[in-house]
Structure 1
Amino acid sequence: MDTPSEHVAVESIEIGDATLPPRYSSRAPGIDFAQEVTDDGYLWWYADAISDDGQQAMTMIIFVGSVFSPYYARARRRGPQAAEHHCAFNTIIYGPSGRKRWSMTERTGAQLNRDTHSYQLGPSRIDWDGHCFLAQVNERCTPFAQRMLGSIRITPSALTTHSLQLDQHGRHHWHPIAPIAHIEVDLPSVGAHWSGEGYMDSNQGTEPLADGFSGWDWTRARLASGDCAVRYEARQADHDPHRLSLRFGQNGSIASEETQESTSLPPTGIWRVARRMPSTKTLPNKLLTLEDTPFYARSLIETSFNGEPGTGIHESLSMERFEKRWVQTLLPFRMPRRT
């Protein structure tokens, strides 16, 4: 699979009747957990899911070069750092009535083993067998060290074979691996056994995330038709926001839709993180905050996309907030490091 430095941007790629926007590039199909990551860079795989009854949710982020790590940020202030020294296998489960369990332990490269089809960090791993991803989670939750033990199975409806350059200089890329997927969560130690609709993607950068972006807003939603809508607004210093509005079909097709300016949403209740809904003027019918941190918000959202209702996950990120030293001193409470 190509690394960002090997991507060849094209003006447009036609898929059926759809034309993709500029800054797309083709890539080999499938998955490669062994991609090279440059010093100070990052690579992550992200998955989320909402249960069929709408009462539970899950996010999983697997890092080589944890972009939200206070330890990685502190080390970079001393000079260039190997991304593999700061890895994490983060899993968060959202249950009924606001119940939440999270495991977000950072580990060193000495505990990392990866090849094209597998990634193992400490006692947890994820494997791709050509049909589905199977994550086997064996972690401790913080702050009370409750065991999080079990599996998460991600079965894509199709794999995409395109990446998108997110910044002006080609240092940050986004690969929507499986915008439409079926996910089965079986984590009995935290009382989570359910299935639902899900999503999986990957991001890769050759520099720290804060060097490329001041922040972004992102949302993905499963539409009533079964398609997936994705809205992105990535903000960069001294540049206009980079916006995209995409629709993914269950067969892997991609259609570009007209982008618009974002709409302000209510900030989070505790940390007052600003939230915006990219490329739509429609206010959501539902906005349920799942994560309210000093620099990041995750929410469950119900709204319409070009007139079609959809339910999904919304994220707002402020890298300007993350770069504050006082914010980084708070994070080890949630993100312990084991060497």
Structure 2
Amino acid sequence: MSDDGSRAISIIAFIGSVFSPWYRWSGRHDPENHVCINVATYGPGGRFTMTDRGRSALRQSEDRFQVGPSALSWNGDTLVIEVNELAAPPLPGRVRGTIHVKPAAITDVELPLTPDGAHIWRPFAPVAEIEVDMEARGWQWSGHGYFDANFGTRALEEDFSYWTWGRYPTASGATCFYDATRRDGTELSAGARFGSDGSAEMIALPPRRPFRRSLWQVKRETRGDAKTTPRQVKGMLDAPFYSRSMVQTVLDGAKTVGVHEALDLTRFAKPWLKPMIALRVPRRRSWTFDD
């Protein structure tokens, strides 16, 4: 998110593209044949790109992950993301540039999202600096960033019906909340406070605070002080099953604006939704590297 709050960017690298209908239709037996670097830019001229690619587009090493024309690599203590993708309708165009993410520190936190550890959240760097240099007018900015990972051995919709996640900057670092309703009726409710030195502690949870549903009527709630009401300050991604937005809440009496996500996995599991997603997520089976 930019320092002035006017722009933001999200990059997700997938092995086994969990939100891809092509991966679902394939039976999810071969994750390395469904790889993707999903890039979305938010603000003036924002674009969305998510291409499901085959195994010929995947290259991995200890410090580099490449899918076709885009890649993530470590350069010392900085994650360098090279983007070269084509945006999806209704705003097609080239999405190209370089993003640098410099973690303040790397944590050692892993949070199982199910009792058997089939899904794990790994917040590598909840506090980071980001520099964005895209080939588009106004898309050169800096701000505060975040770097995490999710690992799983089963489909999300198999184990969860709904979840929300939020990351909110604080004076000392960042606070993250993870809430989920599992298919077996149990719930996950977790909150963690992260320092810029990599320290982490689980915290007593402030109450859940509902706020306005998304344009697609996805239910939304986050954590905040009692008798406060969170509010969206900037829409980011609005899909039939998924909402990402900049949200203002109040934590320990202080207002903070962070990135919030809500995911309706019951809706995502509906067969009628997959063809709709396919319109925004093309499949490219083959790729040839120049070298």
Structure-2-length-normalised TM-score: 0.93
Q: Does 1:323 align with 2:274?
A: no
Q: What is aligned with 1:18?
A: none
Matches of 1:179 and 1:205, distance apart in 2: 20
* C-alpha distance after superposition, 1:8-65 (max 9, x if no partner): xxxxxxxxxxxxxxxxxxxxxxxxxxxxxxxxxxxxxxxxxx1011111111111001
3-state DSSP of counterpart to 1:160: coil
- Give, as a single letter, the amino acid of the residue that structure 1 aligns with 2:154: E
Q: Does 1:242 align with 2:171?
A: no
3-state DSSP of counterpart to 1:211: helix
Matches of 1:71 and 1:319, distance apart in 2: 17
- Give, as a single letter, the amino acid of the residue that structure 2 aligns with 1:56: R
Q: Does 1:164 align with 2:115?
A: no
Q: 1:117 aligns with which of 63, 67, 76?
A: 63
* C-alpha distance after superposition, 1:266-325 (max 9, x if no partner): 1112x1111111465431254432221100001101221122322110000011111111
The CA deviation at 1:234 is 1.5
Q: What is aligned with 1:105?
A: 51
- Contact 1:231/1:279, CA 8 A, preserved across alignment: no
Q: What is aligned with 2:254?
A: 308
1:260–1:308 Cα change, 3 Å? closer
The CA deviation at 1:208 is 1.1
Query: Which residues of 2 match residues 190-201 of structure 1 at below 5 A?
Result: 191-201=138-148
3-state DSSP of counterpart to 2:5: coil
What number of residue pairs does the alignment pair up? 283
Matches of 1:134 and 1:176, distance apart in 2: 18
- Give, as a single letter, the amino acid of the residue that structure 1 aligns with 2:220: R
Q: Does 1:57 align with 2:8?
A: yes
Which runs of 5 or more structure 2 residues have no equivalent in the other structure?
Answer: 286-291
3-state DSSP of counterpart to 1:142: coil
Matches of 2:221 and 2:197, distance apart in 1: 30
- Contact 2:245/2:259, CA 8 A, preserved across alignment: yes
Q: What is aligned with 1:272?
A: 217
- Give, as a single letter, the amino acid of the residue that structure 2 aligns with 1:277: T
The CA deviation at 1:173 is 0.4
- Contact 1:243/1:278, CA 8 A, preserved across alignment: no
Query: Which residues of 2 match residues 149-298 of structure 1 at below 5 A?
Result: 149-189=96-136, 191-223=138-170, 225-269=171-215, 271-278=216-223, 281=226, 282-284=228-230, 286-298=232-244
The CA deviation at 1:128 is 1.1
Q: What is aligned with 1:93?
A: 41
1:74–1:261 Cα change, 3 Å? farther
RMSD across aligned C-alpha pairs, in angstroms? Answer: 1.6
Matches of 1:209 and 1:138, distance apart in 2: 28
- Contact 1:160/1:177, CA 8 A, preserved across alignment: yes
The CA deviation at 1:193 is 1.0
Matches of 2:128 and 2:249, distance apart in 1: 20
- Contact 1:300/1:313, CA 8 A, preserved across alignment: yes
Query: Which residues of 2 match residues 123-138 of structure 1 at below 5 A?
Result: 123-138=69-84
Matches of 1:171 and 1:320, distance apart in 2: 19
The CA deviation at 1:192 is 1.3
The CA deviation at 1:263 is 2.2
* C-alpha distance after superposition, 1:233-281 (max 9, x if no partner): 0110223211111110000011211125522211112x11111114654
1:118–1:262 Cα change, 3 Å? same
- Contact 2:247/2:259, CA 8 A, preserved across alignment: yes
- Contact 1:148/1:190, CA 8 A, preserved across alignment: no
3-state DSSP of counterpart to 1:152: strand
- Contact 2:64/2:71, CA 8 A, preserved across alignment: yes
Q: What is aligned with 2:288?
A: none
Aligned-residue sequence identity (percent) comes to 36
Which runs of 5 or more structure 1 residues have no equivalent in the other structure?
Answer: 1-49
3-state DSSP of counterpart to 1:170: coil
